[in-house]
Structure 1
Amino acid sequence: MSSLLTNSSAMTALQTLRSIGKNLSVTQNRIATGERVSEAMDNPAYWSISVGMKAQNKVLSTVKDSLGLGQAILDTTYTALADAIIHATEALGKYVALETDGIDTAAVTAEIVQRKARIVEIARAAQFEGQNLLRTGGTAVDIVSGYIKGGGGVQTLTLSPYDLEAAAAGITSVATAQTTLDALKTAAAEFGAMKMRVESQTSFTSQQMDAIDRGIGQLIDADMNAESAHLSALQVQQQLGIQALSIANASSQNILTLFRGG
């Protein structure tokens, strides 16, 4: 039945066109943002999980920065100790040389003094952003090494100091020079082991962040190939819907021809 007051065909076509327009808007938003879940209304569960994972990655980024600071401090300390070991080794050799008859003891002693002074200079200069683990009075440095959500909280590593200045002052003979050299090697080994640990933790944190990013992508990223194909299909449907609405509206106009004079 044809009616001038109610055009059922046009109403149906308009509803279909509205539905197509809504789907088209969603698809265009996905293509623009690259996300199929960009707000809570898209998928509350996935959106909530992704927000939590993004927050965790922010925390891990801070952890990584802290580990980077610790690594820089350890690099500085380890490099300084390696240089100090060279001078301590030379000082030990000079003390041994003093046992040789006829040697210029004044010259050898002067060199020993300079070697010890150089070790002290190294200790005082071995700082990074004000943190120095080798000078007299140096304090331990705590760095954030991890974060466990829901249990454990913030994890820290403590970088303990070693008094290199006092060690240099203790070099007074062959025996003490040997003892100091052994102590320096032990300290260097400990700092080297800690340096390896921090580097390993930094690498793990980076891998952990990458894994979380991939997990977030699985939850909210849009399949751009599928969305592109869907967009093309919706655009065609929209054109057909507009044409169907036009035809439906034209049917009412056709009724008028029944009342026109022939």
Structure 2
Amino acid sequence: MSNVTTNPAASAALTVLRGINTDLGVVQQQVSSGYRIQTASDDPTYWSMATTMRSDQSSLSTITDALGLGASKVDTASTAMDTVVSLLTQIQAKLVSATEAGTDKDAINSDIQQLKGQLQSVTQSASFSGENWLYNSAQQPTTQQSVISNFTRGTSGQISFTTINYDSSQTLMIDTANPSRGLLTKNVDASTLGTSSSSGGTARNYYLLAASGGSTPAGGTEIALSSSTTADELTDMINVTNSLLKSATSADSTLGLMKSNIDSQSDYISKLSDAIKSSVGDLVDTNMEEASVRQSALQTAQQMGVQALSIANSMASKVLIILQSK
């Protein structure tokens, strides 16, 4: 029944149209922002979960940076250690060549001293971000190195970090403050290496080089050749150098293992970060295909609502025409 003061049909059509416009506004916002849940009021539970996961992803990004810095330190030390191993190999070869009869030991020693100078240069230049794992001049060196590798979130929300640790005393080649801490500057007792005893009661403690500006280990003899070097002394020097080479090679291998661990962890962190990002998307991102279909449907319903409201409003004018014809 039509009423001159109230149009129930128009009111009903208007109510429906308002609801359609509200739903359409929500869908359009989701499409434009890309988020199905953008604020806590949209869905407190999912919004809270997504916010926590975004925080975790941010922490993982920081850990990725820390791993990158750690990898650079290890790369620097590893590259230098590769060179140290190569130079020690060359020094050992020079000493072996001196065992041949008629060789000029003084000339060979000149070559050895040049190789020692390269060892000094390589170890001093193996510095990255203020850290040098091969060279030390401090009285109390820091030898326990660590790289943050991951973090875990406990059931109560507490965060704990895990690290990749390394004892850089293994790679300390030269120590000017305390020669006994450096592989190339410390005394090595040749008698413990299973070699024959040196003649004349000569001390059998040998060190490879004396660090520039540093002290020399007491009671030791620097590995160097001269025309008076005996066969027994040369044998001791060769075996001591070989022992140093084995230790340097082992330290280099340890660095390689640490580098491999860092690379593996970086790859894992990258994949974990991608997985968290995908999970956050599943929680709060708009499903564009579904939203597009819903938007089209609501736009069609909106047009129909406008037409229904127009028809309802026209009913009053038709009643007026009927009354005028009476």
Alignment partner, residue 154 of structure 1: 161
Task: Kindly indicate whether the alpha-carbon contact (under 8 Å) linking 1:141 and 1:159 is maintained by their aligned counterparts in 2.
Answer: yes
TM-score, structure 2 normalization:
0.76
| Residues 95 and 174, structure 1, Cα contact 8 Å, conserved in 2 | yes
1:261 deviates by 5.8
Specify the SS of the correspondent of 2:147.
Answer: strand
Indicate the SS of the match to 2:103.
Answer: coil
Higher mean Cα deviation, 229-238 or 26-35? 26-35
Name the larger-Rg structure: 2
* 1:156 counterpart SS class: strand
What TM-score, normalized to structure 1? 0.94
Paired residues of 1:40 and 1:47 also in contact (CA < 8 A) = yes
Mapping of residues 26-41 of structure 1, within 5 Å: 26-41=26-41
- Aligned structure 1 segments of 4 or more residues deviating by more than 4 angstroms: none
| 1:199 has 2:263 as partner | yes
Q: Residues 207 and 230 from structure 1, CA distance in 2 versus in 1: closer, same or farther, beyond 3 angstroms?
A: same
The correspondence for 1:238, drawn from 302, 306, 318, is 302
Match of 2:183 among 162, 167, 170: 167
Q: 2:4 is paired with a residue of what secondary structure? A: coil
Identity, in percent, stands at 32
Q: 1:45-68, CA deviations, whole angstroms, 9 ceiling, x for partnerless residues?
A: 111111111110000111111011
Deviates more, 1:146-155 or 1:187-196: 146-155
Which residue identity lines up with residue 186 of structure 1 in the other structure?
Answer: S
If asked which structure has higher relative contact order (CA below 8 Å, sep 6+), I would say 1
Shift of residue 120, structure 1, vs aligned partner: 1.6
User: Unaligned 5+ residue runs, structure 2?
Assistant: 175-181, 186-206, 209-222, 224-236
Aligned position for 2:8: 8
The code of the aligned residue for 2:28 comes to Q
Q: Secondary structure at the match of 1:213?
A: helix
Correspondence 1:51 to 2:47: no
For 1:51 and 1:111, locate their aligned partners in 2 and report how far apart those are by CA, in whole Å.
Answer: 64
**Structure 1: 5+ residue runs without aligned partners?**
none
Cross-structure match for 1:106: 106
d(CA) in 2 for partners of 1:146, 1:72: 18
Write out per-residue CA displacement over residues 208-235 of structure 1, whole angstroms, 9 at most, x where no aligned residue.
1111112112212222111111111111
Q: Distance in 1 between matches of 2:92 and 2:264?
A: 35
